[in-house]
Structure 1
Amino acid sequence: MPTSERLKLKPLCRIVGLLTAGLAGTQALAEPPKSAAEIDWRAKDELPASVRDQLPAFCDGGYLPSTSEDGVAFGNAVGGNAPLHASGLNARYEIDRSLYLDGDVRLRQGAFQVNGSSARYSQEQGTVSIAGPLVSRGEGFLLTGDSADYQVDTGRFDINTATYLLHGPEIRGSAASLTRLASDRVEIRDGLLTTCGPQQNDWAVVASEIELNREEGFGTAKHVRLEVLDVPVFYWPWASFPIDDRRKTGFLYPEFGSSSADSGAFLAVPYYLNLAPHYDATLTPQYHHGRGLFTELEGRYLSSFGETTLQLGYIGNDSAYKDENPGEDGERWALDATTRASFGYGWTGYGDFSVVSDEDYLGDLNRTLDINTATHLQRKGGFRYRSDAQYFDMYLNDYQTIVDRITEVNKPYAQLPEVIYGGQANAGWFEASLESQYTWFDRDNETLTGLDKAKGQRLRAIPELALPLRSLWGFSRPSVSVDYTRYELDDYSLGDGSFDRTVPVFEWDNGLYFDRQSSLFDIPYNQTLEPRLYYAWADAEADQNYIPDFDSGLKTFQFDQLFQRDRFSGGDRVGDANQLTVALTSRFNDLVTGAERARFSIGQVQYFDDREVTLFGEGAGTRSRSPLAGEVVLHPLDTLEIRSSGLWDPETGDTEEGRSQLVFHSEDYQYLASLGHTYSRGELEQSDVAAVFPVTDSISLIGRWVHDSILDRTVGSLAGLEYNNCCWSVQVVHQNYLTDDEELDSRVLFQIQLKGLGGSGGSSRISDAIYGFEEREERRFGTP
């Protein structure tokens, strides 16, 4: 182009740069143009190591945005706010009218760029018409097409026969035509979208119109078809769906399953309501075969203090329940509410309230309420304060007993209220502390007699004075305390309901610390040897059975109880004690990572007097030594943990109790395994095996089996199959579980997950059954 003609380009003020290079030429297309997804797709072995390591095993590759070929760092400006840069192999200019570019045409304005074979700029209309095959790249997206028009002033970009890729949500697709209205809004006509890899349409959403709004984080579509392997399986006249993690009102994916407890199959259609930034709700109408229409509602409210959650379930006419319980009207319901609040300065508030219409509701209907199958539902609320030196807790606590076979005498007391205070202060070499508790116990006692009828107030206070001596090589802590309890009771059958109890207590806890450094398998480690002596003396009166049992129980003897002076929980019994514990612990600490790789502990209690205090016959003892209590914890790998604890009686040679568990997971949680065994002599012996085992990168087996050796029967099992690829997964699991009436019930759990569009099913129940499954779900669709 002559110099005089190039100088006439200055009136085109929007074009601040025009570069021409080389001679005109033609280039034959050796192959069809690639789609947007194919351009940025990289096979797994072509990805950088940092990206490849984060890719799930079942993904063959991932998207990696290409960098700009001219190395220019684009700004954020769009449309007329930024200059337009253009280049091509050949250029022709019509003064004050048009500019023609041909051969390797490149246009760039701000963060937007497009490459094509030729282009025409109209100065009068402010548009650029580009002939393809063309490629357009912006912040977080890539477009291709046959031809396009670009509005320089507004940034509007219209493409015909287009393909597109959104890098963030990894959504790709095609369209008869596509309009980029702004940097964060795209309209698609006669389009398709999916999150599957290039040329892998395992599932796709096809619609006459689709709009993707990245600023709001959602998309909308009209006349929508869900296609699986190009076969339509579902139709919506209109749909709204998320394209990132932000919340959006709309239908969630239908859920379905089958359970013998639910009288067969069920179908649920959840609808999410994003009502405001600080509160939302999910309404889940569902149909249960044999029962009828059932509805669950969950609402969440977030304030400056904390979060409140309300969950409701209701069925107006449960036909299966009426058949099983003649005389009932079939109306059933449940409510569960929780709240947590933080007021600052160490003060917090909390509340939990649960209620159901009948004892079978949780087993028959509950799927979303945060209530596990239980005999008592708690209603508790209060305030708590905590600082470095003291703590305070005041609450009201009551229960709903939902199992009819529990008698009135065995129902728990309500605490109306309970107040707990504890504090600690240093006085020179000494340490003074106080633990105190005030409780008003209440329950319906009209049908009760004797001590079971009593109710009223209890005050317990334990002041203590200790001399803590600490050093790098050990510690010694002698202490004296007084365990004082005062009762003011109503309906007390043994006389005056006002009485108290005072128990002097002396404790002396001592420990030494030895260590040495060595190495094992070329790994340096530190081994410790920690002997410990603990003496406890408590002069409690032998007969305390004139005191009602409001909240007490006999603790299960295990390794941790070696260093506790009281064998009773609660406050209605204080155990007599004159005993010495001898224990030894050894640890192996990895000096490279700081992890504790192994811990071995063993200990025994020497009793100098018989234990005479009982809880209505339980808790006495005459033997001079306790069983040996031991504990082993091994962490040979970061992904492997082995725990074992037990009681062995050296006098009889019998194992009294034993608990063992092995838990393993691979680093990516694709492999999960756990082995467990629980034993209590003459009472319980159960074995538990669970695993998730990939047979290929895409297919995994899921299973769990629990066997009771005493009953000689299976008390729980779970078996299923999982299929994964990089755009969808499905889990089908059959579960047997033991009900309250000691019968095995069964159900089938489904979960279908479409990457980027959510899923349906009951993976939470699988997570409850198999250790590590929840973490596996979180990693299942990891993206580079």
Structure 2
Amino acid sequence: MKKTCASLLLCVFSWQACAQSGAAQRNNDDPDTSLLCPVSPVQFSSDKLMPPGEVMVEARRTEVFSQREANFSGDVDITSDTARIHADQAKIRNNGQQLEASGDVLYKDAQLQVSSDNVALDSTRETLEMQNTEYLFNGTSGRGTARVIDLSSSEGLSLQDVHFTTCPAGDEDWAIRASEINIERGSLWGEAKNTRFYVADVPVFYLPYFAFPVSNQRQTGLLFPEIGSSSNTGVDYQQPFYWNMAPNYDMTITPRVMSKRGVQLQTEFRYLSEQGYSVVDVEYLPSDSDTPTNEHRYFYRIKHDGVLGENWTVGVDINGISDDNYIVDVGTDDYNRADTHLLRTVGLNYFSENMTLDFHVRDFETIGDRPDTYRAFPEARLKLNQPLGSLLEFRLDSELAYFDNVDESRPTAMRLHVAPSIALPFQRHWGELTAEATVMNTTYKQDNVENTALDENVNRLLGRGRLYGTLYFERDGSWFNATDTMTFEPKVQYLYTSFEDQTNIGLYDTTNLLTDVEGLFRGREFTGLDRIVDNNQITLGATSRIMDAQNREQFAVSLGQIFYLEDNRIMTPGSNGDRDRSALAAELDWRFDSHWNFYSDIQITTQTDKVERSSLGLEYRRDSESLVQLTHRYVRELSGETIDQVGLSVSWPISRNWHWVGRSFRDLERHRSIETYIGLEYESCCWAIQVVAQRQLSNRFGIDGQQSTDEYDSGVSLQFIFKGLGSAKSSRRMLEDGMFGYRQPYNLN
């Protein structure tokens, strides 16, 4: 029964675990523990407890009047199987069934410590009463007082004149007081009466009655609101309401008030079953007052991942939007303003040890004035991988797809692709050698091709041969440390693909692939199958790594380049036919020590010695809350534009209580700022406040569908947090917000 009392007390006062259990379900962030109040640990050892059913009493003086009553005085220690009680004096009656301890009573168990004037325990009626208590939770800063704590196995728990805070004694910045708290036995809810919220001893909020959950089960109720402002929305207030409809499905309903636009309703429905997980998001803004015609605006998303059988899975991701500027003006958690398409896909998948089969319907909703993307209605793919004896392996890649477009003037096509292969894979711990021969046959049935260079019926037959080999060399010691391990991994590939004129085939799902060191060995330069480049080339590459004694990668560098033995006749846009080699691709990841890290990815055209693409980053990380990151990204030509951007991200403590984060990205090509983001946080041990200011390109679409590149969106947000009343964003999470957000470096090799 004492253990039950402790757990109920924890649920009453540990609001992070119980009172805000709904909020914890909707926000998986851990509570902010970067700055805690000094906690006096509850000194409790279960090794000193008695076996179940036994009680030991120690005292300086003992008086036994009969077998039914005994008095103890002077440093009385009572030890049971769950708790210990220390008191000045104690009285035990009815053969140990009734206990009364008084005079500086101290109760301890594994969860909390309670100081009291008097403790009365009746094991027959299963009741426990404590008078004039001060309680302290083990391992947390939660503490408080109660005039009476009364626990009954039949009635439940009752507390009178309750006080709770997470602030240190003598420095209570905030506190909660209630005249009465009751929790009935078996109930998932507690009731509080005459509750007052105090800030610096000043009452700021009063509730005559409210109910709160006292278990870690999801409960219906209000979640923490979000408050902010921006030039797009004005003052922005969101108040989520969580509805626990059933153990396996729930809903979050969020009214959102925007001073410039009106009231929006956001709903999220989640459903979980043994067959899968489903989410339905709907956002609706009636009569947007910041539009010329008071437009009705909306966004929806239906997502499902399920299992139909032992080897079958199904996936659904369907999105819709009212207009091109919805994400820019109103925003949504599912997409950001840099996205150009919304997905609409339904897929059915089968997998086994040697075969995969997937059937998809793929569609897109384009944002802005962009060429309509072809949709696949439907698309089926079959892949086989079957050993033939101990050396050979049969592989089959096949696909059947029908491509359609909302623009009825554009061609449509049915495509059937079959590519059987015979491979000889030879793999050992010291290296790998693979020989592969493939026949690729693709048949097109194209419609609506009048007045174009396309043919109605096309049959393309290509042959491909591939020979790939790599070796793994390793030695102990390196130029970093004698205990390190250095590896050298050279690799070479010869690739031949026959040529066939493909100008009579439309482009349905084909775009250029970006090139990196690993991409040089994939043997293709386009996504999709509408263009297959003819090859007669040798690819050379090498990777070297340095591993420490714990086998952690400290340094990795890779180089690679393709050497063309013949000119390609199927070329990527922007390339010329007389090139004898590809761009030189290089990647580097270097962890100087536990604080410094450098990473890069670069491609250099050897004919002109010009950088085509590069990505560089240098990061200093002192600890989890202190970091500085400098990044640079360059692309010589991307859709007719040059990308040349530099960014600086910083998260750094100013003092024990103050922390700031900042981020700035600048376009060096156009000499302008892309995003500026500054956040300042003050945090004491029991409360915190965050102020964030942000200015970024709005990327808004005009009436003609063209995206603006000169307009900015500015905003300021404020968040006040009382620790112990729910989870809060830390300064690290504050840095990850915004248009670009912080991204941790990762291994490129």
**TM-score of the aligned structures, taking structure 2 as reference length:** 0.85
Q: Displacement, 1:656?
A: 2.2
Q: Which moved more, 1:717-726 or 1:704-713?
A: 717-726
Of 523, 527, 536, the match for 1:565: 523
2:478 is aligned with 1:478: no
Map of 1:108-119 to 2, 5 A cutoff?
108-119=79-90
Give 1:349's aligned residue. Answer: 314
Is the Cα contact below 8 Å between 1:139 and 1:183 reproduced in 2?
no
Question: Which residue, 362, 365, 385 being the options, matches 1:424?
Answer: 385
Asked if 1:679 is matched to 2:630, the reply is no
Distance 1:752 1:464, change over 3 A: farther
Q: CA deviation at 1:122?
A: 5.1
Q: CA deviation at 1:705?
A: 0.6
Write out per-residue CA displacement over residues 448-491 of structure 1, whole angstroms, 9 at most, x where no aligned residue: 2xxxx211311112211122233444332222112221112222
Q: Note closer, same or farther for the CA distance 1:218–1:257 as it changes in structure 2 (3 Å cut).
A: farther
Match of 2:263 among 293, 297, 301: 293
Q: 1:175 aligns with which of 132, 146, 154?
A: 146
Instruction: Pick closer, same or farther for the CA change 1:307–1:705 going to 2, 3 Å.
Output: same
Q: Does the CA-based 8 Å contact 1:205-1:225 persist in structure 2?
A: yes
Native 8 Å contact 1:513 1:530 kept in 2 = yes
Distance verdict in 2 for CA 1:225–1:285, change over 3 Å: farther
Is 1:749 matched up with 2:711?
no
| Alpha-carbon displacement from aligned partner over 1:362-405 (angstroms, at most 9, x marks no partner) | 222234456665332111121223334222211112122342x2
- Equivalent position of 1:386 in the other structure: 351
Q: C-alpha distance in 2, partners of 1:422/1:521?
A: 45
**Contact 1:567 1:619 (C-alpha < 8 Å) held by counterparts:** no
Query: Residue 59 of structure 1 corresponds to which residue in structure 2?
Result: 36
> Aligned residue for 1:435?
397
For the pair 1:313 / 2:283, whether they are aligned, the reply is: yes
Given the superposition, is the C-alpha separation of residues 632 and 521 from structure 1 closer, same or farther in structure 2, using an over 3 Å criterion?
closer
Residue of structure 2 in register with 1:43 after alignment: none
**In the alignment, structure 1 residue 767 sits paired with structure 2 residue 736:** yes
In structure 2, how many angstroms separate the alpha carbons of the residues matched to 1:55 and 1:249?
24
Partner of 1:32: none
- Determine the C-alpha separation between the residues in 2 that align with 1:349 and 1:388: 18
- Structure 2 counterpart of 1:417, which letter? P
Distance 1:770 1:212 in 2: 44
Contact persistence 1:169–1:244 (CA under 8 A):
no
Q: In 2, Cα distance between the equivalents of 1:522 and 1:369? A: 46
Aligned to 2:23: none
Structure 2 counterpart of 1:102 = 73
Q: Secondary structure at the match of 1:467?
A: strand
Shift of 1:640: 4.7
Identify the range of structure 1 (102-111 vs 762-771) with the bigger mean alpha-carbon deviation: 762-771
Per-residue deviation at 1:295? 1.8
Write the deviation string for residues 172-226 of structure 1: whole angstroms up to 9, x where unpaired.
2112222234599643222122233444423322222234799888754233233
The residue identity in structure 2 corresponding to 1:281 is M
Instruction: Classify the secondary structure of the residue corresponding to 1:412.
Output: coil
Tell me which amino acid in the other structure corresponds to 2:578: T
What's the counterpart of residue 33 of structure 1?
none
For 2:213 and 2:649, the matched residues in 1 are separated by 35
Equivalent residue, structure 1, for 2:554: 597
C-alpha deviation, 1:348, in angstroms: 2.0
Q: Percent of aligned pairs with the same residue? A: 28
- Compared CA separation, residues 402 and 567, structure 1 to 2 (3 A): closer
Shift of 1:716: 0.7
- 1:628 paired to 2:590: no
Secondary structure, counterpart of 2:327 in structure 1: helix
Q: Retained in 1: the 8 A contact 2:39–2:141?
A: no
Corresponding letter in the other structure for 2:358: D
- Whether contact under 8 Å (2:39, 2:139) holds in the other structure is no
Flag the 1:366–1:189 CA change in 2: closer, same or farther, 3 A.
farther
Please give the alpha-carbon distance, in whole angstroms, between the structure 2 residues aligned to 1:214 and 1:424.
61
Task: Look up the match of 1:265.
Answer: 235
1:618–1:160 distance in 2 versus 1, CA, 3 Å? same
The SS at the match of 1:319 is: coil
CA contact 2:57–2:76 (8 Å) conserved in 1: yes
Mapped to 2, the partners of 1:107 and 1:364 lie a distance apart of 66
1:568 counterpart SS class: coil
In structure 2, the residue matched to 1:204 is 175
Pair 1:661 & 2:617 matched: yes
- Alignment of 1:149 with 2:120, yes or no, is yes
SS at match of 1:236: strand
Instruction: Tell me, yes or no, if the aligned pair for 2:604 and 2:610 is still in contact at 8 Å.
Output: yes
- List aligned pairs for 1:35-114, cutoff 5 A: 58-59=35-36, 61-67=38-44, 72-74=48-50, 82=53, 85-92=56-63, 99-114=70-85
Structure 1 partner of 2:670: 711
Q: 1:762 to 1:265 in 2, by over 3 A?
A: farther
Report the AA paired with residue 435 of structure 2.
Answer: P
Q: 1:642 aligns with which of 598, 611, 618?
A: 598
Please say which structure displays the higher CA radius of gyration.
Answer: 1
Distance in 2 (alpha carbons) for counterparts of 1:226 and 1:596: 52
Find the residue that maps to 2:271 and give its secondary structure. Answer: strand
Does structure 1 residue 195 correspond to structure 2 residue 166?
Answer: yes
- In the alignment, residue 682 of structure 2 is paired with which amino acid? Y
Residue identity in the other structure for 1:296: Q
2:535 pairs, out of 577, 581, 590, with 577
Q: Which residue identity is paired with 1:732?
A: V
Of residues 418, 424, 428 in structure 2, which corresponds to 1:467?
Answer: 424
Is 1:724 equivalent to 2:683 in the alignment?
Answer: yes
1:325 aligns with 2:302: no
Could you say if the C-alpha distance between residues 365 and 93 of structure 1 is closer, same or farther in structure 2, counting changes exceeding 3 Å?
A: same
1:458 aligns with 2:415: yes
Q: 1:236 to 1:364 in 2, by over 3 A?
A: farther
Report the secondary structure of 1:62's partner residue.
coil
SS of residue matched to 1:569: coil
Distance 2:728 2:683 in 1: 15
1:613-624 equivalent positions in 2, closer than 5 A: 613-614=570-571, 620-624=576-580
Q: Secondary structure at the match of 1:468?
A: strand
Secondary structure at the counterpart of residue 670 of structure 2:
coil
In structure 2, the residue matched to 1:336 is 301
Q: Contact 1:242/1:757 (CA < 8 Å) preserved in 2? A: no
The secondary structure found in structure 2 opposite 1:599 is strand
Match of 2:503 in 1: 545
- 5+ residue gaps, structure 2, are 1-12, 14-30, 700-707
Q: For residues 216 and 755 of structure 1, do their structure 2 counterparts lie closer, same or farther at Cα, with a shift above 3 Å needed?
A: farther
When residues 701 and 68 of structure 1 are mapped into structure 2, their CA distance, relative to the original with a 3 A threshold, is: closer
CA deviation after TM superposition for structure 1 residue 520, in Å: 4.8
**Which amino acid is 2:487 matched to?**
T
Q: In structure 2, what residue type is equivalent to 1:662? A: L
Deviation at 1:271, TM superposition (A): 1.6
Aligned partner of 1:780 in structure 2 is none
Q: TM-score, normalised by structure 1?
A: 0.82
Q: 1:766 to 1:260 in 2, by over 3 A?
A: farther
- Name the CA shift for 1:521/1:560 in 2 (closer, same or farther; >3 Å): closer
| 1:125-144 equivalences in 2 (<5 Å) | 127-144=98-115
CA distance in 2, matches of 1:125, 1:518: 71
Asked if 2 retains the 8 angstrom alpha-carbon contact of 1:425 and 1:431, the reply is yes
Q: 1: CA distance between counterparts of 2:313 and 2:328? A: 34
CA contact (8 A) 2:41 2:139 kept: no
Distance in 2, matches of 1:474 and 1:247, equals: 53
* Alpha carbons 1:554, 1:618 under 8 Å: kept: no
Aligned counterpart in structure 1 of residue 339 of structure 2, from 374, 380, 383: 374
Give the Å deviation of 1:502: 1.0
User: What CA distance in whole angstroms lies between the structure 1 residues aligned with 2:594 and 2:183?
Assistant: 43
Asked if 1:254 is matched to 2:230, the reply is: no
Whether the 8 Å CA contact 2:37–2:166 is kept in 1: the answer is: no
SS state of the match for residue 711, structure 1? coil
